[in-house]
Amino acid sequence: MEFRKLGIVGGGFMGRSLAQKVASSGIDVQVLEVSKERAEQSRAELVANLDAEMAKWGITASEKKATLGRIRYATDPKAMVGVQMIVEVVPEDLSTKQSVLKKLDAVLEPDIVFVTSTSTLSVTEIGAGSGRPDRVVGMHFMHAVTMSRLVEIVRGTATSNQTFERAVGFAKTLEKKVIEVFEYPGYVVTRAILPFLNEAMHIVMEGVASADDVDLALKLAYEFKVGPLEYTDRIGLDTVLRWMDHLFRELGDMKYRPCPLLRKMVRAGYLGRKAGRGFFRWQGHERVRDGAPAGAKESGR
Protein backbone atom coordinates (compact mmCIF):
# COMPACT_ATOMS: atom_id res chain seq x y z
CA MET A 1 0.00 0.00 0.00
CA GLU A 2 1.27 3.45 -0.92
CA PHE A 3 0.87 5.94 1.94
CA ARG A 4 -0.15 9.44 0.89
CA LYS A 5 -1.64 10.98 4.05
CA LEU A 6 -1.22 10.11 7.73
CA GLY A 7 -3.10 11.42 10.76
CA ILE A 8 -1.21 12.06 14.01
CA VAL A 9 -3.04 12.80 17.27
CA GLY A 10 -0.80 14.82 19.59
CA GLY A 11 1.89 17.32 18.71
CA GLY A 12 4.25 16.81 21.65
CA PHE A 13 7.85 15.64 21.36
CA MET A 14 7.05 12.24 19.88
CA GLY A 15 4.25 13.62 17.70
CA ARG A 16 6.53 16.30 16.25
CA SER A 17 9.36 13.85 15.69
CA LEU A 18 7.02 11.40 13.94
CA ALA A 19 5.43 14.17 11.85
CA GLN A 20 8.87 15.32 10.73
CA LYS A 21 9.96 11.80 9.79
CA VAL A 22 6.73 11.07 7.90
CA ALA A 23 6.71 14.40 6.06
CA SER A 24 10.37 14.09 5.10
CA SER A 25 9.45 10.70 3.60
CA GLY A 26 7.09 12.46 1.18
CA ILE A 27 3.81 11.77 3.01
CA ASP A 28 1.28 14.46 3.94
CA VAL A 29 0.54 14.75 7.67
CA GLN A 30 -2.55 16.00 9.49
CA VAL A 31 -1.80 16.70 13.17
CA LEU A 32 -4.70 16.92 15.62
CA GLU A 33 -4.17 18.96 18.78
CA VAL A 34 -6.45 19.87 21.71
CA SER A 35 -6.30 23.64 21.11
CA LYS A 36 -5.13 26.25 18.64
CA GLU A 37 -2.49 27.39 21.14
CA ARG A 38 -1.04 23.89 21.48
CA ALA A 39 -1.03 23.50 17.70
CA GLU A 40 0.85 26.77 17.25
CA GLN A 41 3.35 25.77 19.95
CA SER A 42 3.90 22.39 18.32
CA ARG A 43 4.57 23.95 14.93
CA ALA A 44 6.94 26.55 16.42
CA GLU A 45 8.94 23.80 18.14
CA LEU A 46 9.03 21.78 14.93
CA VAL A 47 10.42 24.79 13.08
CA ALA A 48 13.05 25.18 15.83
CA ASN A 49 14.02 21.51 15.45
CA LEU A 50 14.40 21.87 11.70
CA ASP A 51 16.43 25.05 12.12
CA ALA A 52 18.75 23.21 14.53
CA GLU A 53 19.24 20.47 11.92
CA MET A 54 19.97 23.08 9.27
CA ALA A 55 22.60 24.64 11.53
CA LYS A 56 24.34 21.25 11.71
CA TRP A 57 24.09 20.82 7.90
CA GLY A 58 21.68 17.92 8.46
CA ILE A 59 19.08 19.29 6.04
CA THR A 60 18.87 22.07 3.49
CA ALA A 61 16.55 25.08 3.47
CA SER A 62 14.55 23.52 0.64
CA GLU A 63 14.15 20.27 2.61
CA LYS A 64 12.92 22.23 5.61
CA LYS A 65 10.39 24.06 3.44
CA ALA A 66 9.18 20.82 1.83
CA THR A 67 8.76 19.10 5.22
CA LEU A 68 6.78 21.99 6.72
CA GLY A 69 4.66 22.21 3.59
CA ARG A 70 3.41 18.65 4.10
CA ILE A 71 2.27 19.15 7.72
CA ARG A 72 -1.10 20.65 8.68
CA TYR A 73 -2.60 21.25 12.13
CA ALA A 74 -6.22 21.11 13.29
CA THR A 75 -8.30 20.89 16.47
CA ASP A 76 -11.44 19.26 15.01
CA PRO A 77 -11.41 15.43 14.71
CA LYS A 78 -13.30 15.76 11.41
CA ALA A 79 -10.07 17.12 9.89
CA MET A 80 -8.80 13.53 10.01
CA VAL A 81 -11.29 12.38 7.38
CA GLY A 82 -9.31 11.25 4.33
CA VAL A 83 -6.20 9.99 6.13
CA GLN A 84 -5.12 6.39 5.48
CA MET A 85 -3.99 5.63 9.02
CA ILE A 86 -4.14 7.26 12.46
CA VAL A 87 -1.25 7.28 14.94
CA GLU A 88 -2.06 8.53 18.43
CA VAL A 89 0.83 9.86 20.52
CA VAL A 90 -1.15 11.34 23.42
CA PRO A 91 0.07 11.00 27.06
CA GLU A 92 0.65 7.50 28.41
CA ASP A 93 -2.76 7.14 30.08
CA LEU A 94 -5.18 4.32 29.25
CA SER A 95 -8.44 6.26 29.57
CA THR A 96 -7.04 9.18 27.53
CA LYS A 97 -5.97 6.91 24.69
CA GLN A 98 -9.29 5.03 24.71
CA SER A 99 -11.23 8.29 24.66
CA VAL A 100 -9.23 9.68 21.73
CA LEU A 101 -9.70 6.56 19.61
CA LYS A 102 -13.40 6.33 20.47
CA LYS A 103 -13.98 9.90 19.26
CA LEU A 104 -12.11 9.20 16.03
CA ASP A 105 -14.01 5.95 15.51
CA ALA A 106 -17.22 8.00 15.32
CA VAL A 107 -16.00 10.13 12.39
CA LEU A 108 -13.64 7.90 10.40
CA GLU A 109 -14.23 5.10 7.91
CA PRO A 110 -14.44 1.64 9.55
CA ASP A 111 -11.43 0.28 7.66
CA ILE A 112 -8.97 2.93 8.93
CA VAL A 113 -6.24 1.41 11.12
CA PHE A 114 -5.57 3.00 14.51
CA VAL A 115 -1.97 2.87 15.74
CA THR A 116 -1.30 3.45 19.41
CA SER A 117 2.22 4.65 20.16
CA THR A 118 2.56 3.31 23.68
CA SER A 119 5.62 2.14 25.57
CA THR A 120 4.00 0.12 28.36
CA LEU A 121 0.19 0.07 28.13
CA SER A 122 -1.94 -2.84 26.92
CA VAL A 123 -2.77 -2.64 23.21
CA THR A 124 -5.63 -5.05 23.92
CA GLU A 125 -7.18 -2.69 26.49
CA ILE A 126 -6.69 0.36 24.27
CA GLY A 127 -8.26 -1.49 21.35
CA ALA A 128 -11.19 -2.72 23.44
CA GLY A 129 -12.29 0.87 24.05
CA SER A 130 -11.76 2.02 20.46
CA GLY A 131 -14.84 0.55 18.77
CA ARG A 132 -12.65 -1.38 16.29
CA PRO A 133 -10.28 -3.66 18.28
CA ASP A 134 -9.27 -5.70 15.22
CA ARG A 135 -8.03 -2.47 13.60
CA VAL A 136 -5.82 -1.38 16.51
CA VAL A 137 -2.10 -2.16 16.63
CA GLY A 138 0.79 -0.85 18.72
CA MET A 139 3.86 0.81 17.23
CA HIS A 140 6.50 1.68 19.79
CA PHE A 141 8.80 4.22 18.13
CA MET A 142 12.12 5.00 19.78
CA HIS A 143 13.44 8.46 20.68
CA ALA A 144 13.89 10.24 18.37
CA VAL A 145 11.76 8.93 15.52
CA THR A 146 13.83 10.87 12.99
CA MET A 147 17.03 9.07 14.04
CA SER A 148 16.14 5.66 15.48
CA ARG A 149 16.14 2.67 13.11
CA LEU A 150 13.81 0.48 15.18
CA VAL A 151 10.09 0.16 15.79
CA GLU A 152 8.31 -2.50 17.85
CA ILE A 153 4.99 -3.52 16.30
CA VAL A 154 2.75 -4.93 19.02
CA ARG A 155 -0.22 -7.22 18.43
CA GLY A 156 -3.19 -6.92 20.76
CA THR A 157 -5.38 -9.96 21.34
CA ALA A 158 -7.83 -8.87 18.63
CA THR A 159 -5.34 -7.30 16.17
CA SER A 160 -5.96 -8.79 12.72
CA ASN A 161 -3.18 -9.99 10.42
CA GLN A 162 -4.25 -7.38 7.86
CA THR A 163 -3.87 -4.62 10.45
CA PHE A 164 -0.45 -5.91 11.48
CA GLU A 165 0.73 -6.03 7.87
CA ARG A 166 -0.52 -2.49 7.29
CA ALA A 167 1.64 -1.34 10.20
CA VAL A 168 4.64 -3.25 8.83
CA GLY A 169 4.17 -1.56 5.46
CA PHE A 170 4.08 1.86 7.12
CA ALA A 171 7.26 1.10 9.10
CA LYS A 172 9.07 0.05 5.93
CA THR A 173 7.99 3.27 4.24
CA LEU A 174 9.78 5.09 7.07
CA GLU A 175 12.81 2.79 6.59
CA LYS A 176 12.46 1.27 10.05
CA LYS A 177 13.60 -2.17 11.17
CA VAL A 178 10.61 -4.06 12.59
CA ILE A 179 10.40 -6.52 15.43
CA GLU A 180 7.08 -8.30 16.03
CA VAL A 181 5.96 -8.29 19.66
CA PHE A 182 3.15 -10.26 21.25
CA GLU A 183 1.66 -8.16 24.01
CA TYR A 184 3.33 -8.30 27.42
CA PRO A 185 3.99 -5.42 29.85
CA GLY A 186 6.93 -3.34 28.64
CA TYR A 187 7.27 -5.28 25.36
CA VAL A 188 10.99 -5.76 24.59
CA VAL A 189 12.86 -2.46 24.60
CA THR A 190 11.22 -0.76 27.59
CA ARG A 191 11.22 -3.93 29.67
CA ALA A 192 14.95 -4.43 29.09
CA ILE A 193 16.14 -0.83 29.44
CA LEU A 194 14.34 0.23 32.63
CA PRO A 195 16.29 -1.96 35.09
CA PHE A 196 19.50 -0.67 33.46
CA LEU A 197 18.46 2.97 33.90
CA ASN A 198 17.26 2.28 37.44
CA GLU A 199 20.56 0.67 38.49
CA ALA A 200 22.55 3.61 37.11
CA MET A 201 20.44 5.94 39.27
CA HIS A 202 21.06 3.78 42.35
CA ILE A 203 24.83 4.00 41.74
CA VAL A 204 24.61 7.81 41.77
CA MET A 205 22.26 7.91 44.76
CA GLU A 206 24.58 5.66 46.80
CA GLY A 207 27.55 7.94 46.09
CA VAL A 208 29.56 5.30 44.25
CA ALA A 209 30.27 7.65 41.33
CA SER A 210 28.96 10.90 39.86
CA ALA A 211 26.32 10.96 37.14
CA ASP A 212 29.00 12.14 34.69
CA ASP A 213 31.36 9.28 35.55
CA VAL A 214 28.63 6.63 35.50
CA ASP A 215 27.63 7.66 31.98
CA LEU A 216 31.25 7.93 30.83
CA ALA A 217 32.12 4.48 32.20
CA LEU A 218 29.18 2.75 30.52
CA LYS A 219 29.64 4.56 27.21
CA LEU A 220 33.30 3.60 26.97
CA ALA A 221 32.88 0.08 28.32
CA TYR A 222 29.96 -0.93 26.12
CA GLU A 223 30.22 1.50 23.19
CA PHE A 224 26.88 3.21 23.86
CA LYS A 225 26.21 6.46 22.02
CA VAL A 226 24.86 8.04 25.23
CA GLY A 227 24.96 6.93 28.84
CA PRO A 228 21.86 5.76 30.75
CA LEU A 229 21.45 8.97 32.73
CA GLU A 230 21.71 11.25 29.70
CA TYR A 231 19.24 8.93 27.95
CA THR A 232 16.88 9.34 30.92
CA ASP A 233 17.22 13.11 30.65
CA ARG A 234 16.41 12.97 26.95
CA ILE A 235 13.28 10.88 27.49
CA GLY A 236 12.13 12.84 30.54
CA LEU A 237 12.47 11.71 34.16
CA ASP A 238 8.70 11.93 34.68
CA THR A 239 8.13 9.67 31.68
CA VAL A 240 10.64 7.08 32.93
CA LEU A 241 9.01 7.20 36.38
CA ARG A 242 5.57 6.52 34.87
CA TRP A 243 6.95 3.57 32.91
CA MET A 244 8.61 2.09 36.01
CA ASP A 245 5.54 2.58 38.18
CA HIS A 246 3.38 0.88 35.57
CA LEU A 247 5.64 -2.16 35.17
CA PHE A 248 6.10 -2.44 38.93
CA ARG A 249 2.32 -2.57 39.36
CA GLU A 250 1.82 -4.96 36.44
CA LEU A 251 4.63 -7.40 37.16
CA GLY A 252 5.36 -6.90 40.86
CA ASP A 253 9.07 -7.38 40.18
CA MET A 254 11.41 -5.35 42.43
CA LYS A 255 13.75 -4.60 39.53
CA TYR A 256 11.09 -2.16 38.30
CA ARG A 257 10.69 -0.39 41.65
CA PRO A 258 11.73 3.23 40.88
CA CYS A 259 14.92 4.50 42.46
CA PRO A 260 14.14 7.00 45.28
CA LEU A 261 16.46 9.53 43.60
CA LEU A 262 14.28 9.45 40.49
CA ARG A 263 11.15 10.25 42.54
CA LYS A 264 12.98 13.02 44.40
CA MET A 265 14.16 14.69 41.20
CA VAL A 266 10.73 14.49 39.56
CA ARG A 267 9.14 16.10 42.64
CA ALA A 268 11.73 18.89 42.41
CA GLY A 269 10.83 19.51 38.77
CA TYR A 270 14.17 18.23 37.45
CA LEU A 271 12.58 16.45 34.49
CA GLY A 272 15.58 16.39 32.17
CA ARG A 273 16.13 18.09 28.82
CA LYS A 274 12.62 19.55 28.55
CA ALA A 275 13.02 21.30 31.92
CA GLY A 276 16.62 22.39 31.39
CA ARG A 277 17.77 20.25 34.30
CA GLY A 278 17.84 16.57 35.18
CA PHE A 279 20.92 14.49 35.88
CA PHE A 280 22.63 17.06 33.70
CA ARG A 281 21.96 20.66 32.62
CA TRP A 282 20.44 21.46 29.24
CA GLN A 283 20.07 24.53 27.08
CA GLY A 284 17.44 23.98 24.43
CA HIS A 285 18.14 20.53 22.99
CA GLU A 286 21.85 20.55 23.83
CA ARG A 287 23.52 19.35 26.99
CA VAL A 288 25.60 21.94 28.85
CA ARG A 289 29.03 20.39 29.30
CA ASP A 290 30.63 22.90 31.68
CA GLY A 291 30.33 22.61 35.45
CA ALA A 292 29.09 19.85 37.72
CA PRO A 293 26.26 17.55 36.65
CA ALA A 294 22.85 18.70 37.83
CA GLY A 295 22.27 15.39 39.60
CA ALA A 296 25.45 15.57 41.71
CA LYS A 297 23.87 17.51 44.57
CA GLU A 298 20.76 15.30 44.63
CA SER A 299 22.96 12.20 44.95
CA GLY A 300 24.26 13.43 48.29
CA ARG A 301 27.82 13.79 47.06
- Which residues is 5 bridged to in the sheet? 28
Q: Which helix (H) or strand (E) holds 107?
A: none
pLDDT interval class at 84 (50, 70, 90): very high
pLDDT interval class at 300 (50, 70, 90): very low
Looking at residue 100, its pLDDT comes to 94
Looking at residue 241, its pLDDT comes to 97
Q: Where are the domains of the chain?
A: 5-182, 191-292
- In this predicted structure, the answer to whether residue 293 has a pLDDT above a threshold of 70 is no
Query: Is 168:151 a contact under the CB 8 Å cutoff?
Result: no
Burial (CB count <10 Å: 0-12, 13-18, 19+), residue 55: exposed
Nearest to 198 by CA among 219, 220, 214: 214
Looking at residue 79, its pLDDT comes to 95
Q: Name the pTM for this structure.
A: 0.87
Looking at residue 294, its pLDDT comes to 67
Query: Is 166:139 a contact under the CB 8 Å cutoff?
Result: no
- The CATH number of the domain covering residues in 191-292: 1.10.1040.10
Mean pLDDT of 254-282: 97
Query: Over pLDDT 70: what percentage of the chain?
Result: 96
Looking at residue 80, its pLDDT comes to 95
Those residues whose C-beta lies under 8 Å from the C-beta of residue 132, and which sit 6 or more positions away, are 105, 110, 114
Q: What is the pLDDT of residues 20-62, one digit of tens each?
A: 999 999 999 999 999 999 999 999 999 999 998 999 898 999 9
- Which residues is 29 bridged to in the sheet? 6, 71
Those residues whose C-beta lies under 8 Å from the C-beta of residue 142, and which sit 6 or more positions away, are 148, 150, 151, 189
Which of residues 300 and 180 earns the better pLDDT score?
Answer: 180
- In this predicted structure, the answer to whether residue 127 has a pLDDT above a threshold of 50 is yes
Average pLDDT, the chain: 93
The half-sphere exposure of 287 on its side-chain side, counting CA atoms within 13 A, is 18
| CATH superfamily, domain at 5-182 | NAD(P)-binding Rossmann-like Domain (3.40.50.720)
User: What is the chain's Cα-based Rg?
Assistant: 20
Task: Please tell me whether residue 68 adopts helix, strand or coil conformation.
Answer: helix
Looking at residue 284, its pLDDT comes to 79
